Amino acid sequence: MNNIKHIFFDLDHTLWDFETNSDLALEAILKENTSIDVEEFLKFYRPINHEYWQKYAKHEVTKEALKYGRLKDTFDALNYEIQDDKILFLGEEYLEKLAEFDQLFENTHEVLNYLKEKYTLHIITNGFKVVQNKKIKNSKLESYFDVIVTSECVGVNKPNPEIFKFALEKAGAEVENSMMIGDNLQTDILGAKNVGMQTIFCNFNRDTTEKGITQIHELKDLFSIL
C-alpha cells in the first residue's frame, strides 16, 4: 500500500452493521403496526431489498420506488393484505427507526482510531443523505471523517466514476494517494479501481474473489496492512 494519504470507507456492511440494524428496525415497526411474523417477513425482505438496491444503483428505480417497492413486494410474497398508505407510512418509519440503531462491526472504533493517526479518513456511501448522516452521528463515527459523500448528493451511485471523482475533489485528494475500503466487489472495489484508486475488499463473508485484489476478513486485519 504505497503513498496512501487518504482512505475512503464505505459505510453500510463495511463499518455499520446494516443487516443487524435493519432487522432490529423492521422488528420494531412490524410488531407495532402489523400482526405479521417478523422472521418470516425478513426471510423474504432481505433478497427483495438487495435487488431493489441493485436497481437503484443502476438508476432503474427512484428513491421513492425503492422505499415503497421493497415493502410492497415482501407483503405480496407473504399474501399479507395491507393498504398502500400503510406501506408508505411503514417505509418512512423504517428509515427513522433504522438510524437509531448503532451496531458496528467488531473493532470499528479501534481500527478507525488507529488509522486516524496515519491517514485522512472519508466516507463514500450509496445511501440517502439524512439517513446516512444520522447513522454516522448515532454510532459516534462522525469525528473520524473529514468528508462524507452520499450518492444522493452527487446524483450518481457507486460504481459510477463521477462519485469517486467528486469525493476526491471534495477531499482535496490525489487519486494516486487514495484508497477505497468497502464490502462490495462491484460498487466499491472495481468502481474505485476504475478511477485509479488502490482498494481493500472487506470480504467478511469469505466469498471467492478475483485474483490481485487485496482483501480482509475482519476489520482488525487492517492493523497488519496499513
pLDDT tens, position by position, 113-134: 999 999 999 999 998 899 999 9
Task: Give the per-residue pLDDT at 206.
Answer: 86
Q: Quick one: pLDDT band at residue 151, thresholds 50, 70, 90?
A: very high
Where do the domains of the chain lie, and which CATH numbers do they carry?
Answer: 6-17+104-224 (3.40.50.1000), 18-98 (1.10.150)
- Tens of pLDDT along 202-213? 999 887 777 889
Residue 54, pLDDT > 90, answer: no
Q: By C-alpha distance, which of 10, 45, 49, 16 is closest to 151? A: 10
The pLDDT, as a whole number, for residue 139 is: 96
> Closest Cα partner for 183 from 7, 53, 12, 8?
12
Mean pLDDT for the stretch of residues 48-75: 92
pLDDT of 57 reads: 81
What kind and span of H or E run contains 208? none
- Average pLDDT on 158-182 reads 97
Residue 60 has pLDDT above 80, yes or no: yes
- Are the C-beta atoms of residues 219 and 106 closer than 8 Å to each other? yes
Q: Which three cell numbers stand for residue 21?
A: 440494524
Question: Would you tell me how many other CB atoms lie within 10 Å of the CB of residue 128?
Answer: 18
Considering only CA atoms, which of 9, 48, 2 is closest in space to residue 26? 48
With pLDDT > 90 as the criterion, what percentage of the chain qualifies? 90
Please check the confidence at residue 78 and state whether its pLDDT lies above 80: yes
